[in-house]
């Protein structure tokens, strides 16, 4: 009986691995078709519609893509909390686990510009959409370019743009929240722009860091209460508070996602 059970478990593991390989191939093929082929068509239609109507159309398609990416991969997304009125100005501050964090935020928070590493410029079509969203890519080795990018972010914030920041500076290999980089929330503190804390748990299990193998089938996102920088004496105090909120959110999400709870 034990040998039968052992053989059954081995067969089951082989099936799971094969299924994950097929999903990973589907990820690569689907990403190419959606980003390069369909993405080009979307941009063309946006150009035909004109500046205002075209931008609304493209942004709506980007938001749909963010949600659809998880459905096509067979990944269930648990959503906890409620995002604020999209017409209000705020900065989204989130922990960082996987390449899936960007479509997750775009799909469930909205098509929001990112403050991210300049290395993303190297990815064809992805760089086009990041620029279309109004993102600012920073080269931390270039002080002058970083200062210029920050000034541009400040200008856009005054115009009502929302931005996304990953204060950890890199993806967490095990999903645990890494310490926030010093001065990572300085823009929010100086501009007195409200912060929307967003916690993510599960993306690192779906597609781990430095891999393109789809391994998991569930993830989650949690919206915290809006934080107002004017209530804090320093950027350090603000950063510590927001980091703690996100850490607590991740712990709650773990339980929700792992136990597949319908109520957060």
pLDDT in tens, 63-111: 998 998 898 888 999 999 988 775 668 899 999 999 899 999 999 998 8
Within-domain flag for 125: yes
Within-domain flag for 54: no
| Whole-prediction pTM | 0.83
Joined tokens for residue 210: 């430095």
What share of the chain in percent tops pLDDT 70? 88
Instruction: Quote the number of domains for the chain.
Output: 1
Looking up residue 146, the CATH number of its domain turns out to be 3.40.1130.10
Judging by DSSP bridges, how do beta strands 136-138 and 114-117 pair with one another? parallel
Instruction: State the chain's mean pLDDT as an integer.
Output: 84
Torsion-angle region of 181 (φ positive above 0: left; ψ -120 to 50: alpha; else: beta): beta
Within-domain flag for 13: no
In terms of residue numbers, what domain contains 191? Answer: 75-258
Within-domain flag for 171: yes
3 state SS of 218: strand
Q: Which of 84, 92, 87 is nearest to 187 (CA)?
A: 92
Within-domain flag for 203: yes
Torsion-angle region of 169 (φ positive above 0: left; ψ -120 to 50: alpha; else: beta): left
Give residue-wise pLDDT tens across range 6-25: 544 554 456 556 666 666 67
**How many whole angstroms separate alpha carbon 189 and alpha carbon 171?**
24
């Amino acid at each position: 009986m034990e040998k039968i059970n052992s053989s059954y478990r081995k067969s089951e593991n082989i099936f799971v691995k094969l299924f994950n390989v097929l999903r990973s191939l589907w990820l690569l093929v689907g990403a190419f078709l959606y980003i390069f082929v369909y993405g080009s068509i979307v941009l063309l239609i946006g150009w035909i519609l004109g500046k205002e109507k075209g931008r609304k159309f493209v942004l709506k398609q980007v938001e749909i893509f963010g949600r659809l990416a998880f459905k096509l991969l067979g990944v269930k997304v648990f959503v906890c909390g409620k995002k604020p009125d999209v017409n209000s100005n705020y900065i989204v501050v989130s922990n960082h686990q996987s390449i899936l964090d960007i479509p997750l935020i775009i799909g469930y928070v909205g098509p929001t510009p990112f403050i991210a590493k300049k290395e993303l410029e190297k990815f064809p079509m992805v760089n086009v959409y990041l620029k279309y969203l109004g993102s600012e890519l920073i080269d931390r080795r270039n002080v002058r370019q970083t200062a210029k990018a920050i000034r541009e972010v400040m200008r856009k914030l005054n115009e009502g743009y929302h931005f996304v920041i990953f204060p950890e500076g890199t993806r967490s290999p095990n999903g645990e929240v890494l310490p926030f980089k010093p001065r990572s929330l300085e823009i929010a503190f100086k501009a007195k722009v409200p912060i929307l804390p967003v916690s993510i748990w599960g993306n690192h299990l779906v597609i781990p860091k430095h891999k393109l193998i789809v391994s998991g089938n569930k993830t989650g996102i949690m919206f915290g209460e809006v934080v107002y920088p004017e209530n804090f004496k320093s950027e350090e105090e603000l950063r510590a508070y927001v980091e703690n909120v996100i850490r607590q959110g991740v712990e709650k999400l773990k339980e929700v996602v792992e136990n597949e709870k319908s109520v957060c």
